[in-house]
Amino acid sequence: MRRETGGWLMVIAAITILVIYIIWPAWPGGKHPGLFGRALEVRPGLDIQGGLRVLLEAESAQPVTGDQMDQVRTIIERRVNSLGVAEPIVQRAGQNRIIIELPGVSDPQAAIDLVQQTALLEFVDFAKPPGCTATYPTAGQYIRTDRQVALLGTAPTATATTASNIAPTAAATLAATSEATAAATAEATAEATIAVTAAPTSEATAEATTAAIPRAMMRPAQGTPEPTTAATPEATTAPTSEATTAATTDAAATSEATAEATAEATASATPEVAAPGTKNNPLINPCTGQPFRTVMTGAGLSSADAGVRSGSTDYVVDFQLAGNEEAQRFASHTAANIGNAMAIVLDGEVLSAPTIQAALTTGGQITGGFTRDQAVNLSVQLRSGALPVSLKIESTEQIGASLGQQSVDASVRAGIIGVIGVFLFMLVYYRWAGLSAVLALLLFVGINFALYKYIPVTLTLSAITGFLISIGTAVDGNILVFERMKEELRAGRNTLKAIEIGFDRAWPSIRESNISTILIALVLYFFGGQFGASAVRGFAVTLILGLITNLFTAIVVTRTFLNVLVTLRGERASQLKLFGE
């Protein structure tokens, strides 16, 4: 056996062992230990395992541009990919809509919240000017800032109005002071520090605080229509008739009916107003009558990571400042405002309003009573960037697998039968040479499946199609080599020489054919990413992997096996009938 053949045989053996390790399913506990810190798992796509489909529409006071929607699509893709969702489909639909398909999502609402939130993080100046004694918003309330107006226009940050956002009349709001409210207000106004921040007040506390503060001290950003007073429309005034003046009983009845009608008319004429401090009625600075001033947005951060605050079980987000203009402005502001408050605001909602204790020039910590998932999602959103426009949900749909389990099982059986049929053809038609090709094809299938688990590749219907086509190219490469070898054997050359010349002559054709197909697949992959056609990208990925693997198995593996087979026959090598002829 040649030294070269022995070396390649060792390489093939090592690759085979690695492939078996990756694709072996029967690990203790049913979970693969992984490889190089990477989890190894098969990822079925949306058409095989089902998932979530969401239609989002841009919501902005100004016309939405195509560049903004392209940026939205890119940011959403980064957010979803950061959480490990396999092969999401994120594509534009029309001028201002985005379609998202997420396969295998176990928590649809969490996924929707992740992609829908604008994730506009702001550090807002809460320092009161001299002489102002107004009460500032507290955790859980919504505020309007100058940066929100500049980036998102005057449209509210909310995407929907719920019943909980509807407030009673002004009189009821002003009168909503009680022992519980006073306690909640005291708790909400207890400020923390940026170094060690207290957990925010609950939603109920925030609502109670809102109700306890007079409207003059918590002016909303948008004009709030005053509730209708007890003025009664003319149409509700009871008419006076001769019968009414003559019969006192009729008059009493009419008076009672008139009172009821007046009450109904007054109630119906009173407009329903969103409570101050909610998404649809954010608060502005009560001291200046203008939106609050934003010192820095999330663009001033270089990194953000979720973790647990030392000495507690609270989840927080630690951030580092970037070296840009916003970060420099933040550092200057904190240095000049030690002892004053600064609010941490996400999508208009105040998370906390700690007191600045020292100049922050490198980084800090965001607290807000987060759960683990909320902290992780916030860190992902901050790393991915804020959406340039707010999004509202047009529709959501939890979809099942379009193929169905029975169809999947039938497809797997059909694929296995097809591969076995190819193997039988190679064995019957090419005999010993066909055996070497079958062994090479088995390794070809194993290498591809191992790559799918390691990368990982999402196995959609289109991706499986690309894999099956690559099997066809692998078989075609072996057939091309064998036919060249037949020609050399008929010309009277011995077996080893026929193998060498046959592979040398077939290699340029196999190489050029595979490379040209790879180039076409790369074009499909590129344009699939540009237009959100993730199914096309899946097809291109599996086809490219198959073609590259084929360059190794069809030439190196098959040739090595043939050389080993001929060498084992010793002196009769030249007489070996590889093809049964």
d(CA 259, CA 231): 12
- Going 426 to 427 to 428 to 433, the CA torsion angle's sign is positive
d(CA 552, CA 453): 20
d(CA 156, CA 142): 10
- Going 247 to 253 to 258 to 259, the CA torsion angle's sign is positive
User: In which residue are the tokens 């395992």 written?
Assistant: 49
User: In which residue are the tokens 């022995």 written?
Assistant: 6
d(CA 153, CA 196): 34
Query: In this structure, what is the dihedral angle of CA atoms 343, 344, 346, 351, given to the nearest 10 degrees?
Result: -90
- Going 478 to 480 to 483 to 489, the CA torsion angle's sign is negative
User: In which residue are the tokens 């690309």 written?
Assistant: 466
Tell me what pLDDT residue 155 has: 45
Question: By the 8 A CB rule, do 499 and 562 touch?
Answer: yes
User: In which residue are the tokens 């059909």 written?
Assistant: 414
Phi, psi dihedrals of residue 363, rounded to the nearest 5°:
175, -170
Cα-based distances in Å from 312 to 195, 197, 308, 383: 14, 12, 7, 25
d(CA 163, CA 113): 20
d(CA 284, CA 122): 15
Q: What is the pLDDT along the chain (581 residues), one digit of tens a residue?
A: 567 788 899 999 999 999 998 888 756 555 667 777 677 777 787 777 778 888 888 887 678 888 888 888 888 887 777 656 656 678 787 788 888 888 777 677 777 777 777 778 899 999 999 999 999 999 899 999 998 888 666 544 443 333 333 333 222 222 333 333 334 333 433 333 344 333 333 343 334 433 333 322 223 333 333 443 333 334 343 444 444 334 444 444 445 555 555 545 454 445 567 799 998 899 999 999 999 999 998 888 888 899 998 888 889 989 899 888 999 999 999 999 999 999 989 888 998 888 898 898 998 888 778 888 888 888 887 777 777 788 888 888 777 766 666 777 777 788 889 889 999 999 998 888 899 999 999 999 999 999 998 888 888 888 888 998 999 999 999 999 999 998 888 888 888 888 889 999 999 999 999 999 999 999 998 887 656 566 788 899 999 999 999 999 989 999 999 888 888 765 454 545 666 65
Cα-based distances in Å from 481 to 225, 430, 505: 84, 11, 8
Q: Exposure of 131 by Cβ count < 10 A (0-12 exposed, 13-18 middle, 19+ buried)?
A: exposed
| Class for the domain spanning 3-42+404-575 | mainly alpha
d(CA 46, CA 195): 45
Q: What angle do CA 419, 425, 429 make, to 5 degrees?
A: 155
Question: By the 8 A CB rule, do 521 and 527 touch?
Answer: no
Q: Verify cis geometry, omega within 30 degrees of 0, for the bond prior to 456.
A: yes
DSSP-based three-state secondary structure for 502: helix
**Residue range(s) occupied by CATH 1.20.1640.10 in the chain:** 3-42+404-575
Cα Rg for the chain, rounded, in angstroms? Answer: 35
Q: Exposure of 171 by Cβ count < 10 A (0-12 exposed, 13-18 middle, 19+ buried)?
A: exposed
